[in-house]
Chain A
Amino acid sequence: MYHLFVLAPLLTAIILNLPFRRFMKKAAFPVAATLFILQIYGVLFPAPYVRFTALADFFRFNLSADILSRVLLLSAALVLLAALLTGKHFLRHEGKLFNFISLLLIVATGINGIALVRDIFSLYVFIEITGVTSFILITLDKERYALEAVFNYIVLSAIATIMMLFSIALLLLFAGDTSFTAINAALTHGPQTFLVSFAMLMFVAALFIKGGVVPFHGWLPDAYSAAPACVSLLLAGVVTKALGIYGLVRVVTSLSGNNFVLNQIFLLVGTVSIVVGAFAALGQVSFKRMLAYSSISQIGYIVVGLGCGSALGIFGAIFHLFNHSIFKSTLFVNSAAVELKTGTRSMDKMGGLAQQMPITGITSIVSSLSAAGIPPLAGFWSKLLIIVALWSGGHYSYAVIAVVAGVVTLAYFLMMQRKVFFGKLNEEFSGVKEAGWALTLPAIILTAITIGVGLIFPFLPGIPKL
């Protein structure tokens, strides 16, 4: 049943590239949008798809989904839809939009694969698929800056791949097979030698590099700000999380269980990410670079949540993964709208755009408040869960640092709001009107999801009572 998630985008990408060029170019956008909406439907209501067992007999893939996979699938579908809509406005040239849509479908295949596999080597295969396609997507505009940023990203990502392969080789030595269950058995019941711990540490470090966690975050601000706006949206919303952070959550939940050394490493690295990201975002002039450093800070929160060692922390981390996709994508859509209408990314040159672009302004305020953790929005609940998990786990100093960094997050987002949307209107931009439907519709939908999840969350059954 889950084979469709992996096969359908690939089949669509192949069919779209068959030689009926003119028809395919017109059909590409609605077909891709339908596919992503079907994916959202398929994640939320999985029952009707069990008819496709004949497919499962031919393609004997070992794919299955649990709650974590479905969270990733859902956030991937939402962000892909937002990127598709943003790309429609941003990539004017007809051929470029078509290439973008084909590559977007392959990214969809890759991320769905990452979410559904049960094997550490298949995880690597789909991580590479997503990685290679996002390299190509970053260079879509052929700007000089983009090519250099992407070369840096390729080299660091390849070093991370090599480390991951070395650790897979060592784990294969002790486990005999590469599936999650075999490695879990080897790690928990096998001999606890130095080599096994070294292999796990190398694997976790490789995922840190791919996920943009400090101190391996060097490629992230350049790659996010050099890419075209629709691609930055995709990277920040789901690709970095699928490549790095999903793997870390898998390590904690399925591979190694509750390991003391790993928890300490996660706590330390996560806290450093939160602090470095927050303080670096304070001093940025370019809108997209500030959002990139803010992403590093929020990913730090997810990693800290994983290090708490309790189910509450892991739940908070997964919830924050979903929330971060939603509010960061909204902010990137707003930044794309502002960049399209004003032609600049520098926040110092903007000002007072809230009157000209009301929808963009309102959605960006709501997303900024959700990012900073203001009730009753969704971001508040996930940050609260993480901080409570830290406090009840006995890591008092880490909890205090997380709360202080939350205040710094609020500070830089308010500063961004003041610089871009409020304040004195710059005369150059007095004729600027609201961005088109394809840039406001995703912002509205994503903001509605943030507000909705935030309001419904305390009333959901099964939420641990705080």
Chain B
Amino acid sequence: MSVINIILLSILIVGALWTVLTRSLLRAAIALAFTSAIVAALMFRLDAPLAAVFELSVCTGLISVLFISTISLTYPLSQEEKLQHMQVRMQRFRWLPVIVVALGIGLSLMTVKFTLPALAPQTQSDMRLVMWDLRPLEIFGQVVILLSGAFGVIILFKEAGKK
């Protein structure tokens, strides 16, 4: 278990905590992008380069842009309300770091004894060929859901502008 993995995982947890506990929504969206980048780095470490690149481009890029544009489109509160809101918020969220630390210590003390079954070695080791030869139904599913997402965006966003 190498040290770099442990360091990356710890930075991941710190990043996720920052996302949840931070005050302004905009910083939360940026922290979410940072967390996605650390997840992509972990995927690179675990020999999954294609999935890591996908996660970087889609989650770090697309979803963060979506969130930041939504936050700027729905910018609501005045300064006074914002200050009050933040203090009340911290009271609800102060339990989270405590739970995280307790859970971490508790789980690492647990020793799970199970034996993983020996599996047959994989037949195809290139992800692109697996996707095209063994699982074409997933490609089809992605096409359908992108089409349906396009319909949804047209229907949802068009009339919001008209009204």
Contacts and interface: CB of A to CB of B under 8 A. Distances in A.
> Which of B133, B144, B147: most chain A CB closer than 10 A?
B144
A77 interface: no
Given A109-B144, A193-B114, A195-B114, 14 more contacts: A60-B136, A61-B136, A61-B137, A106-B148, A117-B137, A122-B135, A122-B138, A122-B141, A125-B138, A136-B152, A136-B156, A139-B156, A140-B155, A142-B163
Contact of A103 (B119, B141, B148): B148
Interface of B: 114-117, 119-120, 133, 135-138, 140-142, 144-145, 147-149, 151-152, 155-156, 159-160, 163
A174 B138 contact: no
Contacts of B136: 59-61
Nearest to B121: A176
Contact of A59 (B115, B140, B141, B156): B140
A113 interface: yes
B152 A129 contact: no
Contacts of A117: 137
Given A106-B151, A142-B163, A132 B114 contact: no
A-B complex: 3 closest residue pairs judged by Cβ atoms:
A125-B141, A176-B119, A136-B152
Contacts of A34: none
Interface in A132-168: 132-133, 135-136, 139-140, 142
Contacts of A125: 137-138, 141-142, 145
B54 to A, nearest CB: 16
Contacts, number: 78
A132 B156 contact: no
Contact of A102 (B133, B151, B163): B151
Given A113-B141, A142-B163, A133 B148 contact: yes
A348 to B, nearest CB: 32
A126 to B, nearest CB: 6
Contacts of B152: 132-133, 135-136
Contacts of A102: 151
Contacts of A106: 144, 147-148, 151
Contacts of A339: none
A2 to B, nearest CB: 12
27 contacts: A59-B140, A61-B136, A61-B140, A62-B137, A99-B151, A106-B144, A106-B148, A110-B144, A113-B137, A117-B137, A121-B138, A122-B137, A125-B138, A129-B141, A132-B145, A132-B148, A133-B151, A133-B152, A136-B148, A136-B155, A142-B160, A173-B116, A176-B119, A190-B117, A191-B114, A191-B115, A195-B114
A119 interface: yes
Contacts of A434: none
A73 interface: no
A176 B151 CA distance: 36
Contacts of A31: none
B159 A142 contact: yes
A119 B137 CA distance: 10
A195 B156 CA distance: 41
B75 to A, nearest CB: 19
Contacts of A6: 140
A409 B129 CA distance: 54
B148 A194 contact: no
Contacts of B135: 122
B8 to A, nearest CB: 20
A191 B118 CA distance: 11
Nearest to A10: B144
A195 B163 CA distance: 52
